[in-house]
A and B are shown apart, each in its own frame.
Chain A
């Protein structure tokens, strides 16, 4: 059986676990732990410390694994391990939290350096009133014109499907070029 994997990365609390939960056919295998830092606990109660793991079975011979990275820098030793052999990656950005944009850009550059694979940027939480729109995010994050920056709501399966499909289209384009 052939397995392929995609990595879902992004800053703390950007919606990576939710993204995988929305599309995975299995309950996401998560390594969430209660947050020890009071500051981060104010944002959410638990966070991914090693990885999240979701699965989409295509047929008897092919399975897609989705790996979510830990968002906190102190667990970044896991990033390179997770990046090994990835088909492509999604960078999640919380569109309502400009204080995380710098970190999102830094994570994007780190993953680009790990492997020359296609990627897309998912502007998450676009359903919230404080969300920056994708045009403004592109400028704020300095995302090149050729890179897809997609509106996303990680809790919405259709939205997650669109992001993954766009990534797969980019992978096809790269193969064809």
Chain B
């Protein structure tokens, strides 16, 4: 079943997080919005998919390719954009190698000493990241994720870990409201997930992010961490958002001195009934027999 929705309800960052955590393989397409004239379940105008704006592919939870609509995204264009080929070189190669696949062309260019293998990999990687960082700022547009659909085999695919992309994407999110709505309560605390060492492997954190990470402890509220690091509410929200989306920390309620939980959640206001075990087993038997 394809995964579909609209970026206004489920953001690009959330999608990347889902694809990363679920280790998905497939292609995400984001489309232009066309007004349908109908309303959706929450009363917002329902948008239907128009022209494809971007196509991003993933293999086992890693980003492997990204193309914006209207761009060919082939190797010559990518190397030209990265400054590895001049405009004139790109024009000549396009003319002479019209029907050559990206992989074959890369070999030809490397053998002819136009570029190195490293140039090819880094240029493709940067192109892919530029596209994804661009679409991280999109807040509207129908999307569809199709499992197991991948780019054609003649393209060069460079796998990129999504955690770093998500963190960088979060760095670029400027909408304070979005951050505030995600993390309304700074009196929550942070804890590391299980196997933190595994998760932090290969992750590149900024100095500020490391400073926050060094204070991660269920006893420290986010507000206290911000104060200790002399950070504003926006700064701490942005950093926590990035770390949480990348699965590096989890939000929890800090313990109070009496051992009860605190935080933004309301304390339980109603009492659970005192019910005997036999009552529950009777209910189970009855429902089984309906």
Contact = CB atoms under 8 A, between A and B. Distances in A.
Contacts of B266: 110, 113-114
Name the residue in A80, A115, A169 with the highest tally of chain B Cβ atoms < 10 Å from its Cβ: A115
Contacts of B269: 80, 113-115
Interface stretch (B81-89, B103-111, B270-278): B270-278
Contacts of A110: 266
Nearest to B265: A113
A172 interface: yes
Nearest to A38: B39
Contact of B4 (A83, A87, A100, A130): A130
A101 B10 contact: yes
Interface string A84-111: 1111000000100111111100000110
Contacts of A164: 287
A58 B39 contact: no
A112 interface: yes
B288 A161 contact: yes
A170 to B, nearest CB: 10
B258 interface: no
Interface stretch (B40-48, B116-124, B216-224): B40-48
Interface in A2-46: 2, 4, 11-13, 23, 37-40, 42-43
A168 interface: yes
Nearest to B267: A113
B210 to A, nearest CB: 25
Contacts of A83: 270
Contact of A171 (B21, B41, B268, B280): B280
A43 B282 contact: no
B265 A109 contact: yes
A115 B279 contact: no
11 contacts: A43-B39, A99-B44, A113-B267, A114-B270, A115-B271, A133-B1, A140-B14, A161-B288, A168-B280, A169-B284, A171-B280
Given A115-B271, A130-B4, 14 more contacts: A39-B44, A42-B38, A43-B39, A43-B40, A56-B286, A58-B283, A62-B279, A101-B10, A103-B42, A115-B272, A131-B1, A165-B287, A168-B287, A175-B280
Interface of B: 1-6, 8-10, 14, 17-18, 21-22, 38-44, 265-273, 275, 277, 279-284, 286-288, 290
- Lowest 4 CB-CB distances: which A-B pairs, in order? A39-B43, A98-B5, A39-B39, A113-B266
